[in-house]
Chain A
Amino acid sequence: DSGVTQTPKHLITATGQRVTLRCSPRSGDLSVYWYQQSLDQGLQFLIQYYNGEERAKGNILERFSAQQFPDLHSELNLSSLELGDSALYFCASSVGKEKQFFGPGTRLTVL
């Protein structure tokens, strides 16, 4: 158990819908990262927050947004969903730039 929790574990939804994925980092970790893992693209970095502020942005679509709240949990919002958004979404946390601890992931299926 990494200490990072993600909910929900599985999510099935339809094209055009909007979903919210939630991540609670390990106690004391200020950095939260979101990653997407699809069959064709592998793991890709989406976005990073540090202590409530956006720190870095990767290959995140404009239809996707995220935030980190004062209690350090983070949410990833995916809207106008397309079939190609089906993937595993991982959250990871770390103390600064140190070793990252990954959550169990949320498997999103868009039908």
Chain B
Amino acid sequence: KNEVEQSPQNLTAQEGEFITINCSYSVGISALHWLQQHPGGGIVSLFMLSSGKKKHGRLIATINIQEKHSSLHITASHPRDSAVYICAVRSRGSQGNLIFGKGTKLSVKP
């Protein structure tokens, strides 16, 4: 079993829809990252969380440390949000390196 599990694997939405991507992990962590990878391959770090909730524009990330679960929400989705979203954790005691989920491929149709 992977240490970081994401669901769903693939997601297709209509423009304007509210989107949720889930991440569960099985190790103790000191931080969780949400990353975005565009079709060209480049990776952008969206959020780093250790508790609570963070918001940036239309993106919201939450984490529940007790339940070992995080969610990434996209409000008013747009075709430019189409990308692979990757959850990654920094395990407690690590030097900073990340353990990655397999990613969720999001496609937003106009």
- Residues of chain A at the chain B interface (Cβ within 8 Å): 2, 31, 33, 35, 42-45, 48, 50, 55-56, 58, 88, 90, 92, 94, 96-102, 104-105, 107
Main secondary structure on B side of the interface with A: strand
Residue of A nearest to B40 (CB): A104
Specify which of B48, B97, B101 is in contact with A98 (CB 8 Å cutoff). Answer: B48
Do B102 and A42 touch (CB < 8 A)?
yes
Given contacts A48-B95, A58-B97, 12 further A-B contacts (CB under 8 A): A42-B100, A44-B100, A50-B95, A92-B43, A94-B96, A99-B45, A100-B33, A101-B45, A102-B42, A102-B44, A104-B41, A107-B41
8 cross-chain CB contacts under 8 A: A56-B95, A97-B30, A97-B90, A97-B95, A101-B45, A102-B43, A105-B41, A105-B43
**In the complex, chain A residues whose CB is within 8 Å of the CB of B33:** 99-100
**In the complex, chain A residues whose CB is within 8 Å of the CB of B43:** 90, 92, 102, 105
Specify which of B30, B48, B86 is in contact with A99 (CB 8 Å cutoff). Answer: B48
Do A56 and B41 touch (CB < 8 A)?
no
Nearest CB of A to B59, in Å = 15
Residue B31, interface by CB 8 Å? yes
Do B95 and A102 touch (CB < 8 A)?
no
**In the complex, chain B residues whose CB is within 8 Å of the CB of A31:** 96
- Residues of chain B at the chain A interface (Cβ within 8 Å): 30-31, 33, 35, 41-45, 48, 86, 88, 90, 94-103
Do B41 and A33 touch (CB < 8 A)?
no
Specify which of A33, A42, A44 is in contact with B96 (CB 8 Å cutoff). Answer: A33
Provide the bound-state CA to CA distance between A96 and B44, in Å. 18
Do A2 and B96 touch (CB < 8 A)?
no
**In the complex, chain A residues whose CB is within 8 Å of the CB of B48:** 98-99
Specify which of B44, B101, B103 is in contact with A2 (CB 8 Å cutoff). Answer: B44
Provide the bound-state CA to CA distance between A56 and B41, in Å. 25
**In the complex, chain A residues whose CB is within 8 Å of the CB of B101:** 42
Provide the bound-state CA to CA distance between A88 and B86, in Å. 15
Provide the bound-state CA to CA distance between A105 and B43, in Å. 9
Provide the bound-state CA to CA distance between A48 and B35, in Å. 19
